[in-house]
Amino acid sequence: MIIKFCIFLLLLLKISLTFQNCIKGSNYCSRCNPVTKLCIECVSDIYTPDEFGGCKLTKKCEIGNHYCLQCSYEDNLCNICDNSYYPDEIGRCSYTDKCQISSKGICLKCREDYILIGITDYIILDQSNNIYEGLKMCKSLLSEDFLNCEKISQEKGYCKQCKKGFYLNKGDRKCTDVLNCLESSFGVCKKCIEGYYLDKKENKCLRQNGILNHCQESINSINCDTCENKYFFDENGKCVNTKFCTEGNENGVCIKCLEGYYLSNFDNICTSEKECLNGIYDIGICNLCIDGYYIDYKDGKCKSNQEDNEFKFCKIADNNKCKECIENYHISLDNKCTKAYFCEEVENGICKRCSSNLHLSLDNNCTLTEHCKYTNGNECIECEDKYYYNRNNRTCMLEEGIFNN
């Protein structure tokens, strides 16, 4: 028993002295035998396991195999690949030019100073139309994205934890020593998170307050140089949410407009119309007028609807025609607003249904249909005896051959 055990130890010693220990990824080996420490599977079919624990090149490069266009006579490796592919160190073609080992166009291991990043929503086809999901890309460890980064997410390709003394931006996932920064480039902050402005001189994100409310950038932290999106400077240098504004409060709400503009009493927008109730943001035109005026979309101005013309009782007009009337009025066939007498349903300024025993005439008015017994609010559905309904003129007409006595 002791003799057998000694022989086994000698065999193990011989193996360890004769062969190199197999390490996955080393010498193009993809799988090792845990007992013998020899390679049993290589990364590519152009390699086979050798007697030294690694892999040896046994298959020659073939043109047309795995995107290869030209083979090298010196080492039998592919040196020119198909369009958008690049040769790697084992003679295959990869989708990325920084790849060391690839298979069927997909990178398995990157070259030194590069990290393999997985893109899970990418799909490619090989020459046999086989689908491969999860294309891998090689990204430089010296990339700006990884500057001052402690831990990298290989699946997403960005930093997930910064080195001590640095902060991970919530926007671009880069590391900077500026607290509350949203976007940065090589340690310099470009944009702060909401509620903070960038002090460009000190490269700091400071809390907005006073004259710097709604400010995005400042050179001296005294005056604002750039306002937040959809905010504009008033005459005092404050950022307010209204263009053409001359004075705003500390919350960025306009309280006074430029001469020739009026503050709407609904949304604090400066418009060129004092009759405006609700302005369109940023461009200073009206979107809704006060009572007695209609909005003309042709020029965005409020005009009186009390005059005796085609826009009387109009609410919205476009292309020189009234498109919508004020309440209790509807648009007739001549595009004028008519009192909706006995109308029970109005849609887009046009009467759609009349009250009981009335029907909708050709000019969109509710009227009584002579000799009609029943209506549906839109037209007569049953005429009196000896009468029939004529849909063309919406009247009950006497049947032919019958005359009143």
Convert the pLDDT of each residue in 371-402 to its tens digit.
Answer: 888 877 677 888 888 888 888 877 888 887 65
pLDDT range class, residue 356, cuts 50, 70, 90: low
Lowest mean pLDDT among 39-43, 143-147, 349-353: 349-353
Find, among 106, 101, 185, the residue nearest to 148 by Cα.
185
Structure tokens at 300: 């965005």
**pLDDT at residue number 236:** 87
Helix (H) or strand (E) run with residue 55 in it: strand 55-57
- For the chain, give every domain's residue range: 2-57, 327-405
Higher pLDDT, 85 or 27: 85
Query: Above 60 in pLDDT, residue 15?
Result: no
Encode 357-370: b = buried (16+ Cβ within 10 Å), e = exposed: ebbbbeebbbbebe
**pLDDT at residue number 244:** 87
Q: How many helices (H) and strands (E) does the chain have?
A: 1, 44
Q: Which residues pair with 354 in a beta bridge?
A: 343
**pLDDT at residue number 192:** 93
